[in-house]
Each structure stands twice: as C-alpha cells, then as structure tokens.
Amino acid sequence: MRIKILVLVAALLFVGCRDQRPEAAAPGVTNTPVPSQSTSAQPMPTPTFGHAKVLIDTEEGSVIVDVEAAETPEQRAFGLMFRESLGEDEGMVFLFFEETQGSFYMKNTLIPLSIAFFDGEGTIVDILDMEPCEADPCQLYTPDTPYEGALEVNQGAFEEWDVQEGDRITITR
C-alpha cells in the first residue's frame, strides 16, 4: 500500500511541476498576422540570451556589433521589449535556422530600431526602420523576401555604417 501511495504522489508531483505554458511565438510575430508578445504594459520575466558578435561586411569596410542572440521561440518573442536604451554598437540577432516570412512588430519596445533581414548565407535581403508601439494595433514590419535571420540595432545605425542590401553578415560566438 505504501508503494502505491508513493507512486501516486510522485505521479501527481510530475504532472503538477511540468511547464504547461504554450510555446511562445517568434520575434513579435510568427507566420500569422497576430502578434504573440504580451499585451501588458508590465514587463514579463526577461529570458536569458546568449551573446555573439556580428561582423557586417560592406563596400566601405566592416562593422562589428555586440549582440544578444534570440534563438528560441521565447527569446524571439520577447526580443528587446521594455529596454530603455541600446548601446551604440549593440543589437539583437534573431536566428530561425530555416527560411521564414514572419513579420516583426514593436509592441512594448521602447526604442526605435532598424532591422536587417538576412538569408541563410548571411546576405542582407531587406532593411526596415521600426517605431516603438505602446498599444495595439501595432504596425507589422515585413521584409520583401524570405529570410533566416534578422539583426536589430538602434534606428539609423545601418545608414550611419553604410550597410545596404547585399552586404554580408557573419555571426561568431
């Protein structure tokens, strides 16, 4: 009898301790038009991001950007939400590991950003400027072509660095 009770308690603990949250969506948006980021103005727990360096090769030279890497659906959905600033040569890289056409949006993002979408070879296929959004409906930012990654930096940084479509991005850890 004691063994049956222990097994039952262990089973209940296992079921009760499982993470039952739905999987978060990709950066602000998946391939659906409905954003998945929090609609609350209150910060949710910030996920832990890995760090990397992005080298952008342009016709004028190279630029190195220190980035946080958003690789999981939870990380991509949270992105740079609730940040009040971003360093001059800092950003966030979103990695999808397969071709996608999802949109980004700026719900709960407090700073204006520029985003460069790049393909599987690291070639920049589109660059957009994005504005903060405090309340729905927020504008969707969709590149003209499929991509496998995106790099967000302070708005205007790509222009300042002479980064253009066709330039190459290399990520190192």
- Cα–Cα distance, 148 to 26 (Å, whole number): 12
pLDDT at 45: 82
Mean pLDDT, residues 112-127: 98
pLDDT of residue 46: 87
**Residue 109 β-bridge partners:** 133
pLDDT at 42: 52
pLDDT tens digit sequence for 14-72: 333 333 333 333 345 433 333 334 444 555 688 999 999 999 999 999 999 999 999 99
Over residues 62-113, the pLDDT tens digits come to: 999 999 999 999 999 999 999 999 999 999 999 999 999 999 999 999 999 9
* Domain spans of the chain, in order of start: 21-38+49-172
Say if residue 149's pLDDT is above 50.
Answer: yes
What's the CATH number for 21-38+49-172? 2.60.120.1140
162: left (phi over 0), alpha (psi -120 to 50) or beta: left
